Amino acid sequence: MNRFAWRVPPGPLLPLAVILCLGGWLRLTHLNAIPPGLWLDEALNGQDAVAVWQPGGEGFRMVYPEEYPREPLYITLLACAVRVLGPVPVTLRLVSALIGIAALVLVFGMARALAGPRVGLLAAAVLATLFWHVLFSRLVFRTNLLAPWMAAFVWTVVAWRRRPALWRAALAGVLIGGGFYTYLAWYFMALLWIPLVLWIASRDRAGAAPRPPTSTRLCLGLAALVALPLLVHYVRHPEDLMARAGQVSVTNLPPTAAAAEVFENAWEALGMFHLTGDHVAKQNLPWRPALDPVQGLFFLIGLALCARSLRSAGGLPRPHGAILLGWIAAGLLPTIFTITDSPNFLRTLVLTPAVATVTALGLAWAAERAAARTGRIAALSLLALALGYSTFQSHRTLHEWSRREDVYLAFQGDLADIARFAQTVPPEAPLYVPDFFGLFRSFQFQTIGLDNLYYYKDWSFLGPWPTDPRQAGLPPPPYRIVIATAANRAYEPLRALGGRDARFFARPGGAVWGAAVAFLESDLPDTATLRLLPPLPSF
C-alpha cells in the first residue's frame, strides 16, 4: 500500500497540522457545555484526582474503597491538571481532549510504520473525524488513555522489528508494563502484544538483531519492573484484581447462559460498526453505528485488504494486516465477555486506532484507483469529500447528542446547572440546597471549595442567624438563596413566605424542575411561622 499515483506536497507536516487543527476543533469547542453535566464515573475520577494531593491516600485503591479500584495513570494526569487549573469539570475534560489529540499523532506514526506515510495521514484524519473517538475525547474515562497507548506500542514494536535498537526494546517494555496502569482492557490486548513480542523474539533467535536475544530480554525485564508496584498491590489486596471484572463478567452466569451471552454479544459487537452501535446515552446516540456510511464503506474495503495481505505474492505474510485484524479481534473481547451494556463503545475504545487505520487503507486504495483512472485531482477530491462528510456528520451528531433530554439526565445536567449557579453566588450570601444533592458525586466534585454552600432537610435554614455551625462568627448576610426542586416540593411554601424568584432551571425539553428563591434578611419569617410549615420530604 505504499505506491500511489498521487502525491501530497510538501510532505506530512503541513497536512498533519491541518488534521490536528480539525481534530482539536471537534474535541475542544464548547468543552464546558458538551456534554451538559458530569457522569458519576467522571466525578469519581475527579475526586480521586483531588485526593492525590491530600494526605492519607491508599495507593491504587484511591480514596473511595467502597467503589471499585481504578487504574491510576489517568487519575495521575487528572491530578496534575487540577493542581494547575483547579478542580472544575472543564479541567478534567481538557485532559481527555488533549489525550485524544495526542492520539492523532500517535496513530499517524503507527499507521505510517505499518503501511506508509499516506496511510498514516489518512488514519490520523479518519480518527480526527470519527464520532466514536471525538465523543470520548470529551468524557473523563480511563479508557481514553488506552487507545493512544496501544498505538504507541504497535508503532514502537514495528519500528523495533525493522530497525533493531535497545532503546526501542526498552520503550516497548515500558509500554507493556505501563499498560496495566491504564485500563482493564489492556489484559485482553495481551492477545496482541504477546504475539508481537514473540514476533520480535523470533527475529532475535535468528540472529538478525545486535547481541541477540538481549533486546527481547530487556523488553520483558523492563515490562516486569514497571508492572511490579501494581503486582505488589494485588498481592496485598487480591480482592482488587477482579473487583470490577467480577461485577460485569459473564463468568457470573451459569455455563449455558454464559455461552449464550457471549454468542449474542459477539454478534452485536460485529454489528456495532455498521448496524446497531452503542445504545447507552452517555456514549452515543442510541443505536447509532460506530461508523458513518462513508467510513463504514471504506472500513469494509480495508478489512478485505488486510485479509488479502496475510499472504503476499511470494508467500510471505505482510504484518500490517495481521496486526490490525488481531487488534480488532482482541479489542472486541471486553464487550463480548461482559453482561452489561453490550455492545459498549467505552470498553472497546482501544479499537479506534485500528479501525481508523483499516478505514485509511480502504481510502488509500480508492484514491489510488481514482488517481490511476482520472488523475491526482480526482483522488484528492475523493479524499476531501469523504473526510468532509465525516467531519460534518461528527459535528452534527455531537450537537444533536448533547441536546437530548436523556443525555442531560444521564450526565446529571440538573446538578451541573445548580453547581454553575452556585459559582455565581457572592461568597457573603449563603446558598441552601436540598440535602439529597450531597449524595451525588457529581455535585460534590462540582462544588468543591464553595464555603457558602449549605444543605437543608427542614425549614430551620430560614431561622435566626446562624443556621449552621460553620456560620458561627460570621455576620448576618444581606440575603439568602434557596434552591427548591420539584422533588422536594419547597417552592410553593418559599414563595408563600415572601421569597423572590432569582432563577428557574429547566431541562432541554423546556420543563422547569427547579428554582432559586431569594430572601432578604429583613424579610425572613419568624420561628412560629416556620413551625406551621409542612415537613419537607426525606430521600
- Domain extents in the chain: 13-243+256-315+327-408, 412-531
Residue 335: count of CB within 10 angstroms of its CB: 26
Comparison of pLDDT for 211 and 473, the residue scoring more: 473
Across residues 199-226, what is the average pLDDT?
75
| C-alpha cell belonging to residue 119 | 496511510
In our burial notation (b when 16+ CB lie closer than 10 A, e otherwise), range 412-434 reads: bbbbbbbbebbeebeeeebbbbb
Q: List the grid coordinates of 158.
A: 514495528
Q: Between residues 235 and 494, which one has the greater pLDDT?
A: 494
C-alpha grid cell for residue 180?
A: 496495566
Preceding omega of 334 cis (within 30 degrees of 0) = no
Question: What integer pLDDT is reported at residue 65 of this predicted model?
Answer: 43
Per the document, the length of the chain is 539
pTM for this structure? Answer: 0.91
Range of weakest confidence among 116-120, 218-222, 283-287, 289-293: 283-287
Cα distances (Å, whole numbers) of residue 260 to 26, 53, 263, 271, 384: 39, 46, 5, 17, 44
Cis peptide before 148 (omega within 30 of 0): no
CA-based max dimension of the chain: 95
The dihedrals phi and psi of 432, each to the nearest 5 degrees, come to -105, 130
Residue 505's DSSP bridge partners are 514
The string of pLDDT tens digits covering residues 20-42 is: 999 999 999 999 999 999 999 99
Give the whole-angstrom CA distance, residue 70 versus residue 262. 25
Can you spell out the DSSP letters for 147-200? HHHHHHHHHHHHHHHHS--HHHHHHHHHHHHHHTTT-GGGTTTHHHHHHHHHHH
Reported confidence tier of residue 2, pLDDT bands at 50, 70, 90: very low
Strands 479-485 and 512-520 come out as: antiparallel
How does pLDDT run across 96-115, given as a tens digit for each residue? 999 999 999 999 999 999 99
Give me the pLDDT at residue 339, please. 81
Render 300-351 in DSSP notation, one character per residue. Answer: HHHHHHHHHHTS-TTSPPPHHHHHHHHHHHHHHHHHHTBSSSSS-TTTTGGG
Give CA–CA dist 242/227, Å, rounded.
Answer: 17
Instruction: Name every residue whose Cβ is closer than 8 Å to that of residue 45 and which is 6 or more positions away in sequence.
Output: 70, 74, 75, 78, 92, 140, 141, 142
Whether the CB-CB separation of 174 and 223 falls below 8 Å is answered with yes
Residue 10 confidence (pLDDT) above 90: no
Of residues 59 and 228, the one with the higher pLDDT is: 228
Whether 125 has a pLDDT exceeding 50, the answer reads yes
pLDDT given at position 66: 45
Distances from the Cα of 113 to the Cαs of 17, 154, 165, 509, in angstroms? 19, 9, 16, 49
- Look over the chain and give the mean of its residue pLDDT values, rounded to a whole number: 89
How distant, in Å, are the alpha carbons of 20, 101, 481, 521 from that of 392?
16, 18, 43, 53
Selection from 135, 157, 117, 128 nearest residue 327 by Cα: 157
pLDDT of residue 139: 97
240-267 per-position pLDDT tens digit:
776 666 667 777 778 888 888 889 889 9
- Strand partners for 506: 512
d(CA 346, CA 113): 27
* Residue 469 exposed, middle or buried by CB count within 10 Å (0-12, 13-18, 19+): exposed
Predicted confidence (pLDDT) at residue 8 exceeds the cutoff of 70:
no
Sorting pLDDT into bands at 50, 70 and 90, what band is 64? very low
Q: How far apart are CA 447 and CA 436, in angstroms?
A: 14
How much is the average pLDDT of 388-409?
95
> What b-and-e string marks burial along 483-498, b requiring 16 or more CB atoms within 10 Å of the CB?
bbbeebebbebbeebe
**471-521 confidence digits (pLDDT tens):** 998 999 999 999 999 988 999 999 999 999 999 999 998 899 999 999 999
Q: Say yes or no to pLDDT of 426 above 80.
A: yes
Bridge partners for 456 per DSSP: 434
Average pLDDT over residues 135-152: 96
At residue 181 the predicted structure's pLDDT band, cuts being 50, 70 and 90, is very high
**Confidence band (pLDDT; 50, 70, 90) for 134?**
very high
Q: What is the CA radius of gyration of the chain?
A: 27
Q: Cell triple for residue 20?
A: 490536528
Residue 57's pLDDT is what? 53
**Beta-bridge mates of residue 425:** none
